[in-house]
Amino acid sequence: MGQFIVRSFLFLLSLFLFLSGCSDSNSSGDTSSGDGDSDGDTDSDGDGDGDGDSDTDGDGDTDSDTDTGTEPDPTDEIFDVEIIRRVDIHIPTDNGPPSSWDSINAEAPSPECVAIHRDYYVGAATFDGVTYEDIGVRVKGGCGSWRYLDEKPSFKLNFSWDEDETDDICPAEREVMGLKRFTLNNGVQDVSAMHEHLAFQFYRMVGLPAPRTVSIQVYVNDEYYGIYQLIESIDRGFLKRWFDVKAGKGMMYEGSYWCDFLTGDDSAPQDGTCWEREFELDNCSAVPDAVDDLQPFESDGVTPQDPWKFLALLIDELEGLESANAFFPAVTELVDWDAFLAYWAASSIMIDWDSYAQWQNNFRIYHDPPTNRWFFIPWGLDQTWQPVPESDPWGWNGGGQYNFGIFEPAGDVARLCIEAGGTDSEGKTCADTYVDELYRQLAIFESVDWSDEIDAWENRLAPLLSQTDPHREYSYDQWQDEVNNLRAFAAVRAQEVRSELASAGYSEP
């Protein structure tokens, strides 16, 4: 918890600077799915990015350097929100058979809301005048956002892709402005083109590890595909900016589509379930430090380590706390409680309904070895910052009304907190600690002029969205309408939460 408190202090400082007129383009520079998306793509390598490369040293990269902690962050420049760059993707249509285009397209559909595996195929990309040959290219996207290649799919680009994982040749190490991979979200479920920018920004403001974002223009085989969101991947490089990885690199898992510890669907801690493990060791990995979670063998030096053991232990421990009288405050010995409250409260304020707390979806859990605590990391925020649909269009709730009030969570850790009867050393119940965090974050939310923030994004995006774009699924007028809806939401949301708290009998602490 101590590390999180330090991070929270740094973010309160960054918030002060932000409110003094600084741009948010760097508000996460001392902070920050992992495919990192809302699609359920699986991670085939274990570097936390669902991409198929590996971590060869332990500083969060697949290179063999070490992190001194003193160098400027080379990724800061690419996440400058005032600059909208361009990336050109080339997907061969004449290699094979089957060609890269045909292979990628065949794996595009995700009609069922389940975790799926997609492979990378050879392609190329040009960025800032430099062409990178023989990179890995694939589409991404879940049951609501997947698209075929001739539509507007999301993409993953892996610049250090290992085309043949069966040989003994490790992939070449390549970075683009400090990134080894691009996560390019299509935004088909966000007509405002701003939800992810604002939501990740607020998560960072309240002190939570959350990716940085920037808009980017995408071309595919010389055809304009429009505006995308470049989202920072949740990989070792991301974790290095948030955690003391020199004191131990932890294991991370992805949960998607009603995945949970006690009540989720198909939630056994093993391959082929709703869980995906984000890191693994392979022949290209350096020897891990003794303080790292992942090791080639168990303590006997003979038995191969089970990479699921960390999640399995967490589930066992939570099962022992399932009763109302046992859960709190004992859970704070397992989960960094300040960080979890920050995640849960922010998701409630922004109506991040497609998250762990409300929908048991779109999250990573990271084990931090120095503190021996688990941290939740958000992802898939394209459907935030707006009222939830009035009814369930898929029939998953029997076609009835959504129930996503701030005191009606579905995620086990949040649900058990509401039900818990114990108190902490200050005499607070678990629900009390959540309410205190809601009030803390409401003050932060109300201190920001979100209308100015939205205006700034509108000014950046309007010249580009006014252009002809046959791949975009909404009109310019629809975009402007949604931007106005976003302003209306930001204007009333804090008061809505305050009213819900008051109706539950709470008042400002």
DSSP output for 94-111: SSSSSPHHHHHHHT----
Q: Which pLDDT score, from 0 to 100, does residue 104 have? A: 97
For residue 398, what pLDDT is reported? 37
pTM of the model: 0.86
Over the stretch 176-227, which tens digit does the pLDDT of each residue have? 999 999 999 999 999 999 999 999 999 999 999 999 999 999 999 999 999 9
Q: Which of 113-127, 297-311, 331-345 has the lowest mean pLDDT?
A: 113-127
- Looking at per-residue pLDDT, the higher value among 391 and 352 belongs to 352
- Determine the Cα–Cα distance for residues 392 and 399; give it in Å rounded to an integer: 5
Residue 276 pLDDT: 92
Q: What is the mean pLDDT of residues 237-253?
A: 95
pLDDT 10s digits, 362-388: 999 999 999 999 999 999 999 899 987
Q: Read off the pLDDT of residues 113-170 as tens digits, 9 standing for 90 and up.
A: 877 889 999 999 999 999 999 999 999 988 889 999 999 999 999 998 877 766 667 7
| pLDDT classification of 171: cutoffs 50, 70, 90 | confident
Q: Please determine, for residue 399, whether its predicted confidence score (pLDDT) is greater than 60.
A: no
Residue in this structure with the two tokens 């600077």, named with its chain if needed: 17
Helices 195-205 and 430-447 sit at what angle, rounded to 10 degrees?
A: 120
Residue 392 pLDDT grade (very low, low, confident, very high; cuts 50, 70, 90):
low
In eight-state DSSP terms, residue 246 is G
Indicate left, alpha or beta for 191 from its phi (over 0: left) and psi (-120 to 50: alpha).
alpha
**What does the DSSP assignment read for 448-467?**
S-HHHHHHHHHHHHHHHHTS
Which residues, in sequence order, are CB contacts of 393 under 8 Å at separation 6+?
none
Taking 80 as the threshold, does the pLDDT of residue 337 lie above it? yes
| 280 CB neighbour count, 10 Å cutoff | 17
Mean pLDDT of 29-47: 39
- pLDDT value for 58: 35
Q: Kindly report which listed range (103-112, 448-457, 458-467) carries the lowest average pLDDT score.
A: 103-112
Mean pLDDT computed over 247-251: 96
- Residue 7 pLDDT > 60, yes or no? no
8 Å CB contact between 188 and 147: yes
Per-residue pLDDT at 405 exceeds 80? yes
Give 51's pLDDT tier (boundaries 50, 70, 90). very low
Which is more confident, 34 or 324?
Answer: 324
pLDDT at 316 over 90: yes
Residue 389 pLDDT class (50, 70, 90 cuts):
low
Nearest residue to 422 (alpha-carbon basis) of 430, 414, 432: 430
Has residue 53 got a pLDDT over 60? Answer: no
Residues 6+ apart with CB under 8 A from 18: 24, 27, 205, 448
Q: Kindly state the average pLDDT of the residues 90-106.
A: 96
Q: What pLDDT sits at residue 6?
A: 43
108: which 2 tokens? 């595009």
pLDDT top residue among 473 and 160 = 473
pLDDT at 391: 52
Owner of token pair 């076609």: 399
Strand order of the sheet with strand 363-368? 275-277, 252-255, 363-368, 373-378
In the prediction, which pLDDT does 440 show? 98
For residue 294, which of 57, 52, 43, 32 has the smallest C-alpha distance? 57
Average pLDDT taken over every residue of the chain: 85
Dist. CA 255–CA 246, nearest whole Å: 26
More confident residue, 360 or 437: 437
- pLDDT of amino acid 115: 77
pLDDT at 37: 43
Neighbouring CB atoms inside 10 A of 253's CB total 24
